[in-house]
Amino acid sequence: MTYSLDLRNKALKYIENGGTWSSASQTFGVAIRTLALWLSRKKQNNLPPKARPTGSYKIDENRLKDFIAKNPDAYLREIAEEFKTTIPAVFYACRRSKITLKKRRHTTKKETKKKDGNL
């Protein structure tokens, strides 16, 4: 959760004017550790909230299908690197397209039944 710059400044002024860390924490509804982080960031003149990194969240399904057809053994990590996105984004894009990335076992059901019958 991102706290506004106004709240950050108010909390730090409260502490600078003699308020205790615990009372500032309760008054402004933030953890003491967060207040300490804000104070260190203020000393570095870097108090505003950091911009969240954004990337491409949409993956072209046709391009994804073509890539998986050409690289059927590719891991999600490798696909994410190719599309310059995150692993969960690739997972959900595959799920939407009904693409499964599970590999088949080397044994068949028939062989498994034979082994179970010998027990």
Q: What is the pLDDT along the chain (119 residues), one digit of tens a residue?
A: 688 999 999 999 999 999 999 999 999 999 999 999 999 999 988 888 887 766 555 788 889 999 999 998 889 999 999 998 889 999 999 988 888 876 666 555 666 666 656 55
The amino acid present at 27, given as its one-letter code, is T
By C-alpha distance, which of 48, 50, 25, 46 is closest to 35? Answer: 25
Judge whether 72 lies within some domain. Answer: yes
Domain count, the chain: 2
Cβ partners under 8 Å of residue 105, min gap 6: none
How far is 66 from 72, CA to CA, in rounded Å? 10
How far is 118 from 107, CA to CA, in rounded Å? 16
Judge whether 37 lies within some domain. Answer: yes
Same domain for 9 and 35?
yes
Judge whether 113 lies within some domain. Answer: no
Two structure tokens written together for 16: 């600078």
The radius of gyration of the chain from alpha carbons, rounded to an integer in Å, stands at 26
Residue 33 parent element (H or E):
helix 32-43
**Domain hosting residue 20, numbered range:** 5-43
pTM for the structure as a whole: 0.46
